[in-house]
Amino acid sequence: MAMTTAADLVVTTLGPCRLESPLKSQLESRQTTVHSVGETDRVLFHDTVNLIRESGCDLDSLPSFEPAGPRQKIFFDTAKMRVGIVTCGGLCPGINNVIRGIVMELSFHYGVQRIYGFRNGYQGFVGAMKIAAVVAKRDGNIAVVGIPKTIDNDIPSIDQSFGFQSAFGEATKSIQSAQVEAKASPNGVGLVKLMGRHSGFIACYASLAVPDANSVLIPEVPFALDGPNGLLEHLLTRVRKSGHAVIVAAEGAGQELIANEATGQPRSFQ
């Protein structure tokens, strides 16, 4: 994996911010909890001293992010500003709250009156990159802003994507139900399949919150089905000992075990 550099995290701007923010009075008041973000401040990409040392960079050259939050100066004249909101991908818990928060902030704090929603959406980040490319080609004063939306929590460099906590919280109920059903049947086996094609965060967090699962299968950790250390032998031993078992599997777990339709050999995944 290539080393992340400061240049990789630079956000393209439309130009210098010269207009006073509509939040100016609130930002300057000591009676409010709204605080402005320093224009030159950054959030470091590396979060440990050892990683910073290993990077070999001085402070100004370290890879870093722009901090989120209101600024003293802004680029757009909010009285003339138009905003369009579009969602993409699958359904996600909390998305209505995010849309509402954007609309309320724009309307009541920034005074934006023209806010539009687009039906049918577009194809994720690829659609957003294409829009940004066309805007740049036409030299338009249009900003394209993306908000991470995935319940799988599989976006690097962020703590949690919205929708994730709701997803694994609901998943705990399924695990509890599977455990009750498995115990109610002789040699019962409960199987809970959760979302997570490339990452097993939902499966892991839910299983930690409700410790009823005997096996947790995630895409990041390959496993064998057969043999003395295989899943099937472990499952059989568990059922013989306790009379039941519960398995939690992320949807992408064990993909390397699925035979390639063309060759009949196990698939190879990068």
Residues 245 and 201 in one domain: yes
Pair 154, 203: CB distance under 8 Å: no
**39 and 75 share a domain?**
yes
Domain presence at residue 154: no
Is the confidence at residue 225, as pLDDT, over 60?
yes
Q: Are residues 73 and 194 in the same domain?
A: no
Mean pLDDT of the chain: 87
Say if residues 17 and 73 touch (Cβ distance below 8 Å).
yes
Q: What is the pLDDT of residues 103-116, one digit of tens each?
A: 999 999 999 999 99
What average pLDDT does the segment 183-207 reach? 94
Say if residue 248 is in the same domain as residue 174.
Answer: yes
Domain boundary (137, 155, 186) is at 137
**Residue 269 is assigned to a structural domain of this protein:** no
Q: Is 156 within a domain?
A: no
CA distances from 158 to 93, 118, 155, 162, 256 (A): 18, 27, 7, 11, 28
Task: Give tens-digit pLDDT for 125-166.
Answer: 777 888 889 998 999 899 998 887 888 888 877 778 888 888
For residues 172-193, give the mean pLDDT: 95
- Which domain CATH number covers 243? 3.40.50.460
**pLDDT tens digits, 45-64:** 888 899 888 888 888 889 99
Specify whether 60 is located in the same domain as 106: yes
Name which of 28-32, 39-43, 264-268 the model is least confident about.
264-268
Which of 213, 270, 233 shows the shortest CA–CA distance to 203? 213
Instruction: Tell me: pLDDT of 230 over 80.
Output: yes
Based on the fold, state whether residues 132 and 183 are members of the same structural domain: no
**Tokens 């805007």 — which residue?**
135
In a domain? residue 142: no
Q: Is 263 part of any domain?
A: no
Per the CB < 8 A criterion, the answer to whether 70 and 23 are in contact is yes
Q: Is 152 a catalytic residue?
A: yes
Residue 103 included in any domain = yes
Residue 220 has pLDDT above 90, yes or no: yes
Per-residue CA distances from 87 to 91, 120, 121, 185 (Å): 9, 8, 6, 44
The DSSP H or E segment spanning 172 is: helix 164-184
The residue ranking higher by pLDDT, 124 or 101, is: 101
- Helices and strands counted in the chain (H then E): 7, 9
Q: Establish if 228 belongs to a structural domain.
A: yes
Whether residue 181 sits in one domain with residue 119: no
**Last residue of some domain: 119, 137, 155?**
137
- Whether the pLDDT of residue 30 is over 70: the answer is no
* 125 vs 162: CA distance, rounded Å: 16
Quick one: pLDDT at residue 256? 84
**pLDDT at residue number 269:** 43
**DSSP letter (8 states) at residue 26:** H
- How do residues 237-249 score in pLDDT, each as one tens digit? 999 999 999 999 9
Residue 204: which domain range? Answer: 164-257
Query: Do 40 and 127 share a domain, yes or no?
Result: yes
Contacts (Cβ under 8 Å, ≥6 apart) of 157 = 45, 65
Strand partners for 5: none
Per-range mean pLDDT, top range of 13-27, 40-54, 232-246: 232-246
Same domain as 132, residue 25? yes
| Prediction pTM value | 0.75
Lowest-pLDDT range of 18-22, 92-96, 200-204, 243-247: 92-96
Q: Where is the domain boundary, 137, 172, 199?
A: 137
Residue 48, in any domain of the structure: yes
The model's confidence at residue 264, banded by pLDDT at 50, 70 and 90, is low
Domain count, the chain: 2
- Distance in angstroms (rounded) separating the CA atoms of residues 72 and 70: 7
Q: How far is CA 126 from the centre of its chain?
A: 16
Domain identity same for 168 and 99: no
Same-domain status, 108 and 190: no
User: What's the pLDDT at 1?
Assistant: 46
- Please tell me whether residues 191 and 121 are part of one structural domain: no
Residue 260: is its pLDDT beyond 70? no
State the catalytic residue, choosing from 77, 152, 159, 226. Answer: 152
